[in-house]
Structure 1
Amino acid sequence: MFNEFEKTKNWIENIKKFGSRLDLSRISKVLEELGNPQNDFKTIHVAGTNGKGSTASYIKSILLQAGYKVGIYTSPYVVKFNERISVNDTYISDSDVIKYANIVFPIWERLYKLGDVVTFFEVLTVICFLYFRDQKIDFGVIEVGLGGTLDATNVIVPEISVITNISYDHMNVLGNTLEAIALNKLGIVKPNIPLVTTVEKKELVPLFKEVTRKNNSKLTIIDQSDIEIKDISEVTKFGYKGKEYQTNLPGVFQIKNASLAVETILQLRDSTNLDVSDKDIKLGLVNTKWPGRFEIFNHNIILDGAHNIGGIEALSKTITKIYPEKYVKCLVSIMFDKEHEKIIEVLDNVCDEIYFTEFEYTRRADAEILYDESHHKNKKIVKDYKAVFSKLSNLKKNEILVVTGSLYFISEIRKLLIK
């Protein structure tokens, strides 16, 4: 059993070596043995390729503003392990991680000896549900880890389901077509539970309609005609259904994420008499924070964990929109199992200088591979990411530095900036 946080965290992290197996049978067994804690609070389920975290954070912030006690479960973490699980903007404590790991471990060990290993993400999800139950939260905003259908979080029956968008990512698991990826994410749709989405690709709309029809679920697709862009700078202003809103998370894509959160709250207000005012919605959006997603430091350093095509295209559009006259330096490290060649192709067109680097993580691609895939005329390899960041962060007035390619990578850079 555990009595130190580092040893507890190491046990949880080391479960990764057994791999990830998408199957709800194991987590269902564990939760049933623990009294199905996921059924003791209301939930909102958020899936999608990009924007899950910020959409979930908007929803959480609005509910907090209205006075509800709210838990949020997200992944991966950017700075601290505990930030995956929080209640009312306070991360789960080290002592509580130890406490709930000690509850889960005997069950994990027994199943392990039987050859049925409960995975890393399943263990975290069980800890989250136990913690949320004991904290007596009003709502849990639950972000899907991977896909939807067989994701460990898909044991919940939410008040409403949310899907942000559909793009290419995790094709080795979810499928090589947008239709296959969409169908997997649509696995979170439950009978008679409404679905709200910002899905844009017209070819996917019939699939969304078919799945929701079969489940007798109300489908709401955010209509672009309901969204009006007011201003995109370091503060984003927009209109949705005739009302004006503002968020301190910059970016074109944040307007869609924020509109999706607003629509989710409006739907809940209409269907469940949720006590949230228009003022709560506006203040909730303004107060939302989401580290590592177009996060701006000193007005000239941008951290963005874009790690797939959809994310990097959104980053590119936002840089062009907010900083049309700036000289753009890019510091990049990407995971080897991502579509790094396509990601680099986008970056080649938005960066004036591009630096490929490395950090200590088993899945990161070698800088030489990324360098060779780039066709940029002004590209360099600097393997010491701390040294190159220190040098690049001394920026002139007309320059910005964009750090991107991986959430794990920008997490390392963020630690340097916070120091």
Structure 2
Amino acid sequence: MSLNETLKYLYDLQFFGMKLGLENTIKLLKSLDDPHRTFPSIHVAGTNGKGSTCAMLASIFQAAGLKTGLYTSPHIKRFSERIRINGEEISDYDIINIAEKMRNEIDTLKCTFFEATTAMAFDYFADRQIDIGIIETGLGGRLDATNVVVPEESVITNIGMDHMEHLGTTLKAIAGEKAGIIKNHIPCMIGSVGEELKPVFSQAAKRQQAPLFFYDDIVRVEEKKLTNSGSKVDLFLKFVDGEFELKELEIGLAGRHQIQNAVMAVAATRLQKKFNIPEAAIREGVRHPEWKGRLQIINHHPLII
């Protein structure tokens, strides 16, 4: 198949709609020899900010010299934006090749578009022998196709009223679905979610015996500067095993909301124990993430965003 034929085939899988559940993904990945089990990962969910947090996490690990896979959705212009290694998008050849390899199983299982693309990303990452994968959920968490991973750490950025037809009509119900990415004995970082939702995550973490860290409990941020091109903050993190501070931390994504996303990425980096990430890599990664189309400045004179 050509690239256009392959993409049409994948997009046509949306005919099967949105099916929440892991059964198809597990079977499809098994036919590929379970590629998701071959690399460590960080799994990120949340109503808003999860893509930006993923981008900064990937940028940090890449700056540390690690071969870093990044799986996000949706794409803005090209399908290949969804699947990247060290910032480089998956090639046309690999899209065609992996889709063809999966096609019989996809057709048999009647997989959805997202199930197929998730399996494609994991197969590509395994084949390229990445050091770590940064994996963004598509919708919710508990029944999202990405929830087959057993990560080094889970991250939930925030909770809002989204996809209520699938996730529930209350914030507590939605929080419960996103808390479904909390895994047994795997640490989890939770963004600023409000006191009323903390028990939802605390109960989920207790069931899984998972260490839990709330943004409001461990983070102190002093905003120093906010411009069209980013911000500068003093950051203080307080963990059980000690404190960590980054003064004059430059955040390369524009908007005050990106401060929390950047802090989540930094905290998640410090909480995982698989890799020792130096401070210089954290600073570089947060300063220069690649994340287009999010308050991105196209021109300075005149200012075009």
Same fold (TM over 0.5): yes
**Helix, strand or coil: the match of 1:226?**
strand
- How far the C-alpha of 1:45 sits from its partner, in A, is 0.1
Q: Which amino acid aligns with 1:260?
A: M
Tell me the residue number matched to 1:125: 118
Q: Which residue of 2 is the match for residue 43 of structure 1?
A: 41
CA distance in 2, matches of 1:62, 1:221: 21
Which of the residues 202, 215, 221 maps onto 1:222?
215
Alignment equivalent of 2:203, drawn from 210, 225, 238:
210
Q: Does 1:175 align with 2:179?
A: no
Larger Rg: 1
Determine if the alignment matches structure 1 residue 12 to structure 2 residue 10: yes
- Separation (CA, whole Å) in 2 of partners of 1:284 and 1:160: 19
C-alpha contact 1:199 1:205 (8 A) present in aligned 2: no
Please give the residue correspondences for 1:124-273 in structure 2 after superposition, counting only pairs within 5 Å: 124-223=117-216, 226-234=220-228, 235-241=230-236, 242-244=245-247, 245-268=249-272, 271-272=273-274
Encode CA deviations 1:362-384: one digit per residue, 9 max, x unaligned: xxxxxxxxxxxxxxxxxxxxxxx
1:337 alignment counterpart: none
Equivalent positions of 1:103-118 (< 5 A) are: 103-111=101-109, 117-118=110-111
Is the 1:163–1:199 Cα contact (8 Å) retained in structure 2? no
Residues 30-69 of structure 1 mapped to structure 2, 5 A cutoff: 30-69=28-67
What is the Cα deviation at residue 79 of structure 1? 1.7
Mapped to 2, the partners of 1:226 and 1:42 lie a distance apart of 29
1:110 Cα deviation after fit: 2.7
> By how many angstroms is 1:46 displaced?
0.3
Deviation at 1:65, TM superposition (A): 0.5
Contact kept, 8 Å, 2:185 with 2:208, in 1: the verdict is yes
Give yes or no for contact 2:87–2:290 (8 Å, CA) kept in 1.
no
Query: Could you tell me whether the CA contact under 8 Å between 1:167 and 1:178 is conserved in 2?
Result: yes
1:81 counterpart = 2:79:
yes
What is the alpha-carbon distance in structure 2 between the residues aligned to residue 26 and residue 201 of structure 1?
Answer: 35
**Is the CA contact (8 Å cut-off) linking 2:60 and 2:284 kept in structure 1?**
yes
Q: Deviations 1:272-301 (Å, cap 9, x if unpaired)?
A: 3x2211111001111112112111222333
- 2:16–2:111 contact (8 Å) kept in structure 1: no
Structure 2 Cα separation of the partners of residues 9 and 149 of structure 1: 28
TM-score, structure 2 normalization: 0.93
- For residue 200 of structure 1, report the CA deviation from its aligned partner: 2.8
Distance 2:184 2:108 in 1: 34
What amino acid maps onto 2:187 in structure 1?
P
The secondary structure found in structure 2 opposite 1:201 is coil
Number of corresponding residues: 292
- Name the TM-score, length of structure 1 as normaliser: 0.68
2: CA distance, partners of 1:84 / 1:213: 33
Q: Give the drift of 1:39.
A: 0.1
Q: d(CA) in 2 for partners of 1:18 and 1:52? A: 26
Q: Secondary structure in 1 aligned to 2:48?
A: coil
Deviations 1:85-127 (A, max 9, x none): 000110000010000001110112233xxxxx11100000111
Supply the AA of the counterpart residue of 2:296.
E
Displacement of 1:223 = 2.6
CA distance in 2 between partners of 1:188 and 1:200 (Å): 16
Which SS does the other structure have where 1:71 is aligned? Answer: strand
How far residue 9 of structure 1 moved from its aligned partner, in angstroms, is 0.5
For residues 301 and 285 of structure 1, the distance between their equivalents in structure 2, rounded to whole angstroms, comes to 23
Match of 1:276 in 2: 277
Q: Which whole-Å CA distance do the structure 1 matches of 2:246 and 2:125 have between them?
A: 33
Question: CA offsets, 1:10-30, max 9 Å, x none?
Answer: 100111122111111111111
Matches within 5 A, 1:376-391: none
Q: Secondary structure at the match of 2:234?
A: strand
Q: Deviations over 1:227-248 (max 9, x none)?
A: 1111111221112114221122
Once the two structures are superposed, the pairs formed by residues 311-322 of structure 1 within 5 Å of their partners are none
Deviation string, structure 1 residues 145-196 (Cα, Å, up to 9, x no partner): 0000100000010000000000111111111100000000000000000000
